[in-house]
Chains A and B, each alone.
Chain A
Amino acid sequence: MGMTLAEKILAAHAGLKVFPGQLIRVPVDLVLANDITAPIAIREFERIGVRKVFDRSRVVLVADHFAPNKDIQSAEQCKVMRDFARAQQLTHYYDVGIMGIEHVLLPEQGLVLPGDLVIGADSHTCTYGALGAFATGMGSTDIAAAMASGQTWLKVPQTIKFIYHGQLLSWVGGKDLILHAIGHIGVDGALYAAVEFSGEAVDALSMAGRFTMANMAIEAGAKAGLFHVDEKTRAYIQPRARREYTVYESDSDVAYARVIEMDASQIEPQVAFPHLPENTRPLSQVNHVPIDQVVIGSCTNGWLEDLQVAARVLAGRQVHRDVRCIVIPATQTIYLEAVRQGLVETFVEAGAVVSTPTCGPCLGGYMGVLAAGERAIATTNRNFRGRMGHPESEVYLAGPAVAAASAVLGRIGGPQEV
């Protein structure tokens, strides 16, 4: 019996032949935390009683959630992280000016490569699976232990395989495929499992679209969302990689826990209704839903390509006067490129605002918090009750094309309607 991509990466790290359900101790390639999870991780690290992190070039800290600091407490939390990064002389500490949203920043900086095993104190760490790495989110205490030991424990997951046949319709992207998948299997449909995405529609996706899909694997409860390495992956990695890496492939005779085949040509742009990402509907079945705010950004859809899609929709048009439209490039590099390509000009002329990179509104932190009764459509990843602010506000999830079109329409709608 062959092994899946996830099993091969875990086996290579554990130095064992592994099987689903097995508990293993494994060395990790990279350990990540951010300004809300690092302070607890640092507090717990200090209780362990070792002086230094296991490898100062393999612990990555990013100030992105409440940075630039939203209030005094957030400033204190960032300071805890900053002081620790300096004391430990961490190679990869990203503060305001060089920081970006962690899950876009790390691949962009070449810190995650195919075959890596990465753990991060953030649930969307699974994003890196788009590179053929095994990456999974954990809590602060797990990260503290790994910062000290360079190891973690894992249960080897079963793998669920999604195969997308056919070609994507226009304005349909990675976000629509993953929302559709979550709608199909539910928010716990992949609990404890790894998810593997394949098929010609997925092969046709850009890296940004693949990162978006891997990013939201957690919204189906998955431990990891993985893609195989192809020419697009290599082209993305090539200018960034500063060390050797190993490409793994699933064997052909693998016993998947489940194989789900989809005809991608039948998948419309998707919208997830409140208050769960599984409440998806094709755009054609969305009735009149007026909105107050649009957010285009986040670790899910803050990639340059997402901004390009939004700009194509917004160019020469105006954001509806009852709507606040907030655009957030995920990293400084993407921001600068958006300036150079004239995207920022397009957004500002349309009446949107463009923010410095931050997770801010996605989790109701700041930079676009909703009042009671308000409704937003966002390219973010969660629409739980109160996620973007008041518990009586609502968040609808969609890709950048639908979000940008909705900003113009003042209600949820698609690019063909503007």
Chain B
Amino acid sequence: MLKGKVWKYGDNVDTDAIIPACYLNLSTGEELAWHCMENLDPAFAQEVQPGDIIVATTNFGCGSSREHAPLAIKGAGVSCVIAETFARIFYRNAINIGLPILECPEAVTGTDAGQTLEVELETGTIRNLDTGQVFQAAPYPPFMVDIISAGGLIEFTRKELTT
């Protein structure tokens, strides 16, 4: 069960907003986290707490293929990203590195910044603890569940190639 305070953002949060390219000479989540959301919300990296949840509207993570973006978010301690829609490459990257993400337009509409959400990943259930509302995210396709339950794409591939 994940639980955290909500940071809420709008449409088209791009990968340059999540991690500006001048920091792409860094490659670990811990280093990148210091600059996460720097161009969009300078307070984020300073104030984010372990477990916090990012909630955004459409096309979250559009732009570059840089895996530094989900790595920075994960490195900042964010437990989950919930959006109406995700950009395709960001979606893959998040699944591959083990950053939980959920598509749930109703939860995005029904959540404000600063509220607290509780997320049950296995079922996709999202509970707004401030309002008591409960939302249901779209389930992952079975193939993706295999990657997630293996612990990410690297573990999935290792199992496939070395056993």
Contacts and interface: CB of A to CB of B under 8 A. Distances in A.
B145 to A, nearest CB: 11
A37 B67 contact: yes
A384 B17 contact: yes
Interface string B128-163: 000000000000010100000000111011101110
B26 A73 contact: yes
A139 B92 contact: yes
Contact of A387 (B21, B85, B87, B156): B21
B70 to A, nearest CB: 8
Tell which of A44, A50, A120 has the most Cβ of chain B within 10 Å: A44
A82 interface: no
B16 interface: yes
A192 interface: yes
Contacts of A141: 67, 93, 96-97, 152-154
B66 interface: yes
Interface residues of A, number: 52
B51 interface: no
Contacts of B158: 47-49
Interface string A361-385: 0011100010000000000001011
B46 interface: no
A49 B162 contact: yes
A222 to B, nearest CB: 8
B90 to A, nearest CB: 8
Given A47-B158, A141-B154, A188 B65 contact: no
Interface residues of B, number: 44
Contacts of A74: 25
B46 to A, nearest CB: 16
Interface stretch (B56-64, B72-80, B111-119): B56-64
Given A122-B65, A153-B143, A386 B59 contact: no
A48 B40 contact: no
A221 B12 CA distance: 10
Contacts of A71: 25
Nearest to A392: B39
B84 to A, nearest CB: 10
A221 B154 contact: no
Contacts of A50: 161-162
Interface of B: 12, 14, 16-17, 20-22, 24-27, 38-40, 58-59, 62-68, 70-71, 85, 87-89, 92-93, 96-97, 141, 143, 152-154, 156-158, 160-162
List of 7 A-B pairs having minimum Cβ-Cβ separation, nearest first? A73-B25, A139-B93, A363-B21, A139-B67, A188-B59, A386-B39, A141-B96
7 contacts: A49-B158, A66-B24, A77-B27, A122-B65, A188-B12, A364-B20, A382-B16
Interface of A: 23, 36-37, 39-40, 43-44, 47-50, 65-66, 70-71, 73-74, 77, 120-123, 125, 137-142, 144-145, 148-149, 153, 187-188, 191-192, 221, 223, 276, 363-365, 369, 382, 384-387, 389, 391
